[in-house]
Structures are given as C-alpha cells and as structure tokens.
Structure 1
C-alpha cells in the first residue's frame, strides 16, 4: 500500500511505494542527470575521473553520485575513482556500509572483547573449583 510522503528534493507530496524515494518529476530529472553523468564517464579520458571532477563537469550533486554508486548504478569496477562515504569515518568505500579500515577496527575490538570474556569465564571456573580432603579413618 502506498504511503504519502514529501519529496526530499522539491517538497511536493507523492505516493511512496518503496520503488523511488522522490516524486515522479524529480525521478525524471534524476534520470536525465544520470544519463549526463553516464555519457561523461563513457568517454575514455573521463573514466578515471574522481567525484569532484564529475560534479564540476556535469553539475550533479555529490550525494546523488554517492547514491548511484551505493545502489550499483555506477559501478566502481568500471569507474575506479567512484565510491560513497563510509558510515563511520566518511572515507570513500565501494562495498558495504563501512570501509576496510573501519571493518578491521571493529573486528579487532570484537576479538578483544571475546578474549576478555573467555578470560572471565576461565577465572570463574577456577573460583568454582572445590577441593575435598579425606579425613583419616580409623
């Protein structure tokens, strides 16, 4: 079922069905901008252009470029200097929500936490150990 929303670009109301995040008018404008960017990147000399260069040459916003890369419409395999910001640090990444550096940092922190948990469990086991002594029986 459709949900009534405001278009984040122009502010008009539109029925959100989960397909597009903007109204039909803005979606058509975005498609025109996408075609402009794609034509620009298809030229051999522009394939290695970075995001700043693409914004300067085409007039498309940086956030729109990031969205297209995140959705897979512009693929970093074909255009190597494209990416979108990491959700944690803001550096460019091409896969997932986090860059490689942040992913490795989180993995290290998780390993540290797991090691600390194992140490705590081992210490609890040592504290639980019960020692019995036998009394002399006559």
Structure 2
C-alpha cells in the first residue's frame, strides 16, 4: 500500500491497486458513475458493457462492480456476463444465483439452529451470525 493524495480533495490516503480517490471521494465518484450508467441504460436498454463504458466514460471495472452490487442488471438472459461465485451459472447481477442464495440461507439457518443448543456463543458471535442471516434474506 502506498500513500497518495486524493485526485478530488487532495487528502492523503493509503492507496491499493491504482486507486485515485480517498474512501469518501470514492463513494461520491461511484455514485456519479452509477447515475451516468443508469441514465444511459434508461435511454439504451440492452446496451453491452463496452458500449456503456465508451458512451459514459465509466470504466468496465466500475460497471461490473455495479452489476455485482446489484445496482444495475443485464436485461437479456443470453447476455449474462457474470457467473455465480458458487456454481458458475450465468447471472444478471449480484454474486450468487437465486438457487445458491436460497441454499446459503438454509445452510446459515441450519448452522444457527445447531449452534443454539451446543455452544455458548459470545454476544458478538451471535450478532455476526444474525447479520449474515439478515443480509442473505435480503438478497432473496
């Protein structure tokens, strides 16, 4: 990690992998990029990632991040460029397909139930498990 100055605000920060913005400005920058991509896709539904990147000036890497964060999604099934990180089936957005999301949620619930009676968990561990289950349920 190297020390750099943020391109936008000039604040020093620890940069990884060619980062140009501090964490605060990075969030602002991603939000601006999201709005550009969203607006372009609204006017050009079905555009591919290269076309969107060229028209908006937003990097393909950022567009893929928006897809994985489920902020945008691929319209056509045949155009799925993301793969489920668990089973590798093509998906429109996010990190997991619906089937894997469901299986992960069931596994977490099962693990929670088996841990309830067998182990005395600290309140921190219990909260971590609850948070994981809540976020998995939201993804469904």
* TM-score where L is the length of structure 2: 0.45
Structure with the bigger percentage of helix: 2
* TM-score where L is the length of structure 1: 0.46
In our comparison, the structure showing a higher alpha carbon Rg is 1
